[in-house]
């Protein structure tokens, strides 16, 4: 693609003259737009057809105005850089399509007009309308042939394969040039490669963006997974710690429960002791009461026993109170332990639920990470494949362009060889012509000397027999001259034999080339003779028929007499002149130069009408051919033109009344005011109809 862009920038393929004006640094260069082929965008489907339709016009240079085009032409003359065609936008005019062309564009298989399938700036509308506005495009050669035949071969049609149907019935076709050699095909190929590169670049950017997004998603998923794993690890640590604490609490709870069981046993024992003490206290109180009611001797004894019982009861009450307080504390501890146990059960359930949720989330993140890794791997593979394909395509393109450059170099070398061969061919033609001239000269000298010998009574053979080789002195002089020549040659050349063989081979080659040229010359002479014979036959036939028509028309215009055409050399018809022999009524036969002015004019009119009788024309324009005629001859000429106007329309410029009377329509020019002309039209036939 870089090679094509370089060729595009250097205007390769446009010709030396176009490149000179487009690369000029003159002030008028800014008024030159570019070449026609560089001002339009052509779809690759229509590249071949548009290239054929434009032809050499692809190298035309578009200019803003006629002045800049003139300056560019002067610059080409100054630089002696060749010629080219300019299209000034201010003087160029578009072409109007006919109704047949519009209908033909709608036929099945027709793709429309060539100027409609390409894109260009609006200011170049007149350029492409002038060049391609009336050119139709067909999908196949059969479609183009059918449409051209249907519309009487009046259209210009170009097929997609490059076949061209011209107005008039001819068609042009065959193989097209290579794509790099054609400006249009090269631009289409460059656009296609640029579009392919653009699509590939967009695809690569999309893949890279998608890969970047996937990498970001994968990195986000990895971060989320790391965070989830960290949360899971912390949750597991918290769960392990909670399990350990639960185990410790269970152990503590078991100890508490054992302590509570011991306390319960102690409480039961204390209750039993309290009951026993109360029973004993009751007994003691009863005994005290009995003792109070008993004898006084025993009062002191019982008083001591009562004090002792009271002290023991107070101590029992104190012990009972302490035990009740201890039981209340143990009961509170048991309730608090139950609360902690329930709280630890709740924490364990919550941690178990969090562990399950984190496990599920970890599985999801692992699955998303695996999917992202798979997509990333696939994208990496696709990117690698695309990069490999791109590298392979670049290598193939580079190889193709290297091959193309080598082919161009070979083509240029072959062009040089062909030019050299043509130059040598022209030189050998000139040499052959000079040799023929010299041969004719030698033949003339031989004939002259043979005539001199005949005048002396000797034949050529007798003269050769009597010829002497020269005197002794002349022979000695010749020997000395040869020795001097041998000495002048210098030392012996050991490669002389090889050089002689090479020179002999070249001479044989040139002899063969000369024989081929002579044979080609004879064939050309034969073709020229055949063409001359065919032309002579056609000319003789036409000459005979024109002579018959001339005699007939002459008799009608002159009211009799004879006239005939004769060749000055009947053996060489194509090189002979024509003599006109006239015998007006009542006069002798004489040549055209001896007639009067009116007779000569009427004779020339008869000859012109004879030409029209042999090959009729749609119309005939004559300017004051009746100026030298008298009234009778004017009337006869006008009557004949009137009778003959059914096949040919005659436009006659005249001042003679008789000629005007025979006309169907009169067109007159009058000047009513100075410098202002007016055209007056009178249709005589319509006036006659209205008069009748």
Distance CA 47, CA 193 (A): 14
- pLDDT at position 466: 66
CB of 248 closer than 8 Å to CB of 287: no
Helix/strand/coil percentages in the chain, nearest 5:
70, 10, 20
Are the beta carbons of 47 and 75 closer than 8 angstroms?
no
Looking at residue 157, its pLDDT comes to: 92
DSSP codes of every residue in 586-623: TS--EEGGGS-HHHHHHHHHHHHHHHHHHS--SEEEEE
Q: In what order do the strands lie in the sheet with 562-567?
A: 562-567, 578-583, 590-591
Query: Could you tell me how far CA 611 lies from the centroid of its own chain?
Result: 53
> Are the beta carbons of 136 and 155 closer than 8 angstroms?
yes
> What is the block-wise mean pLDDT of the chain (692 residues), using blocks of 10 residues?
48 68 82 82 82 82 89 86 86 83 88 87 86 88 89 88 85 66 59 68 73 72 70 70 69 68 68 69 65 54 67 70 71 71 74 76 77 78 80 80 79 80 83 84 80 75 68 74 80 77 89 91 90 86 86 83 83 82 83 79 83 82 83 81 78 86 84 80 77 58
Residue 10, CB half-sphere, CA atoms under 13 Å: how many?
A: 9
For position 180, what pLDDT does the model report? 44
Task: Report the predicted TM-score, pTM, of the whole model to 2 decimal places.
Answer: 0.35
- Domain coordinates in residue numbering, the chain: 2-176, 219-423, 504-615, 618-692
Q: Are 573 and 642 in contact (CB under 8 A)?
A: no
Mean pLDDT, rounded, of the chain: 78
C-alpha–C-alpha distance, residues 356 and 226, integer Å: 17
Calculate the alpha carbon distances from 468 to 410, 442, 464 in Å.
Answer: 61, 22, 9
What does the pLDDT look like over 50-91, one tens digit per residue? Answer: 888 888 787 888 998 888 888 888 888 888 878 888 889 888
Q: CA 322, CA 328: separation in Å to the nearest integer? A: 10
Q: Which residues contact 640 (CB under 8 A, 6 or more apart)?
A: 553, 556, 557, 609
Residue 110, Ramachandran bin (φ over 0: left; ψ between -120 and 50: alpha; else beta):
beta
CATH of 618-692, one of 1.20.1300.10, 2.120.10.70, 3.30.413.10, 3.40.50.300: 3.40.50.300
Sign (positive or negative) of CA dihedral 516, 518, 520, 522: negative
Phi, psi of 344 (to 5 degrees): -65, -35
Q: What CATH architecture does domain 219-423 belong to? A: Orthogonal Bundle (1.10)
Other Cβ atoms closer than 10 A to 118: 18
Assigned superfamily of 504-615: P-loop containing nucleotide triphosphate hydrolases (3.40.50.300)
Residue 231's H or E segment, with its range, is helix 183-292
Measured distance CA(200)–CA(198) in Å, rounded: 5
Q: What is the DSSP string of 284-304?
A: HHHHHHHHHTS-STTHHHHHH
DSSP state of 578: E
pLDDT at residue number 159 = 92
Q: Do 310 and 288 contact (CB within 8 A), yes or no?
A: no
pLDDT recorded at residue 377: 79
Q: Do domains 504-615 and 618-692 have the same CATH topology?
A: yes
Q: The tokens of 98 are what? A: 């006919």
> How do residues 165-183 score in pLDDT, each as one tens digit?
888 888 888 876 544 445 5
| Count of C-beta atoms within a 10 Å radius of residue 625 | 20
For the four alpha carbons of 251, 252, 258 and 264, in that order, the dihedral sign comes to negative
pLDDT at residue number 424? 85
Pick 2-176's CATH classification: 1.10.3720.10, 3.20.20.70, 3.40.640.10, 3.30.70.1620.
3.30.70.1620
Pairing of strands 578-583, 590-591: antiparallel
Output the six-digit token pair for 344.
């630890």
Please state at what angle helix 125-132 crosses helix 47-54, rounded to 10 degrees. 80
């Amino acid at each position: 693609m870089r090679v094509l862009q370089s060729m595009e920038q250097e205007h390769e393929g446009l010709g030396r003259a176009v490149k000179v004006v487009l690369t000029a640094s003159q002030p008028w260069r800014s008024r030159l737009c570019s070449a026609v082929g560089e001002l339009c965008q052509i779809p690759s489907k229509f590249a071949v057809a548009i290239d054929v339709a434009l032809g050499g016009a692809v190298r035309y240079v578009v200019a803003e105005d006629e002045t800049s085009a003139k300056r560019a032409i002067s610059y080409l003359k100054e630089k002696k850089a060749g010629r080219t065609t300019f299209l000034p936008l201010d003087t160029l005019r578009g072409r109007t399509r006919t109704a047949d062309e519009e209908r033909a564009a709608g036929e099945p298989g027709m793709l429309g007009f060539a100027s409609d399938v390409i894109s260009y700036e609006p200011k170049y509308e007149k350029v492409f309308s002038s060049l391609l506005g009336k050119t139709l495009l067909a999908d196949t050669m059969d479609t183009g042939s059918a449409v051209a035949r249907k519309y009487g071969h009046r259209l210009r049609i170009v097929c997609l394969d490059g076949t061209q149907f011209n107005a008039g019935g001819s068609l042009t076709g065959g193989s097209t040039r290579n794509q790099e050699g054609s400006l249009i095909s090269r631009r289409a190929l460059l656009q296609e490669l640029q579009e392919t590169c653009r699509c590939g670049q967009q695809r690569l950017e999309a893949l890279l963006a998608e890969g970047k997004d996937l990498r970001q998603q994968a990195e986000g998923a990895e971060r989320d997974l790391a965070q989830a794993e960290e949360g899971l690890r912390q949750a597991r640590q918290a769960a392990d710690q909670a399990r350990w604490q639960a185990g410790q609490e269970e152990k503590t709870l078991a100890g508490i429960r054992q302590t509570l069981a011991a306390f319960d046993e102690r409480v039961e024992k204390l209750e039993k002791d309290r009951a026993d003490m109360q029973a004993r206290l009751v007994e003691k109180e009863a005994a005290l009461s009995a003792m109070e009611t008993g004898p006084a001797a025993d009062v002191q004894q019982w008083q001591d026993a009562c004090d002792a019982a009271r002290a023991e009861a107070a101590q029992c009450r104190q012990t009972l109170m302490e035990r009740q307080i201890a039981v209340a504390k143990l009961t509170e501890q048991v309730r608090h332990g139950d609360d902690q146990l329930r709280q630890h059960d709740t924490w364990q359930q919550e941690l178990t639920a969090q562990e399950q949720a984190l496990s599920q989330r970890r599985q999801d993140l692992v699955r998303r990470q695996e999917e992202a890794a798979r997509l990333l791997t696939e994208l990496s593979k696709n990117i690698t494949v695309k990069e490999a394909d791109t590298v392979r395509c670049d290598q193939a393109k580079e190889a193709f362009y290297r091959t193309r450059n080598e082919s161009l170099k070979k083509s240029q070398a072959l062009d040089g060889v062909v030019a050299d061969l043509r130059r040598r061919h022209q030189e050998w033609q000139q040499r052959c012509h000079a040799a023929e001239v010299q041969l004719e000269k030698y033949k003339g000298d031989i004939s002259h000397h043979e005539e001199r010998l005949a005048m002396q009574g000797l034949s050529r053979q007798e003269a050769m027999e009597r010829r002497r080789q020269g005197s002794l002195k002349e022979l000695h002089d010749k020997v000395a001259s040869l020795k001097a020549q041998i000495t002048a040659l210098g030392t012996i050349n050991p490669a002389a034999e090889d050089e002689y063989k090479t020179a002999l081979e070249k001479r044989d080659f040139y002899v063969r080339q000369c024989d081929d040229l002579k044979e080609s010359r004879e064939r050309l002479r034969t073709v020229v003779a055949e063409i001359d014979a065919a032309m002579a036959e056609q000319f003789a036939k036409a000459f005979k028929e024109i002579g018959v028509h001339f005699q007939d028309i002459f008799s009608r215009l002159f009211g009799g007499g004879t006239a005939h055409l004769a060749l000055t050399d009947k053996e060489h018809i194509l090189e002979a002149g024509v003599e006109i022999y006239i015998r007006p009524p009542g006069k002798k036969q004489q040549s055209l130069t001896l007639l009067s002015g009116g007779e000569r004019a009427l004779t020339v009119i008869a000859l012109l009408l004879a030409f029209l009788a042999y090959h009729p024309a749609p119309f005939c324009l004559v300017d004051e051919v009746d100026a030298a005629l008298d009234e009778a001859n004017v009337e006869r000429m006008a009557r004949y033109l009137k009778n003959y106007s059914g096949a040919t329309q005659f436009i006659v410029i005249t001042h003679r009344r008789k000629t005007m009377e025979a006309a169907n329509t009169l067109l007159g020019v009058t000047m009513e005011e100075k410098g202002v002309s007016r055209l007056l039209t009178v249709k005589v036939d319509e006036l006659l109809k209205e008069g009748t």
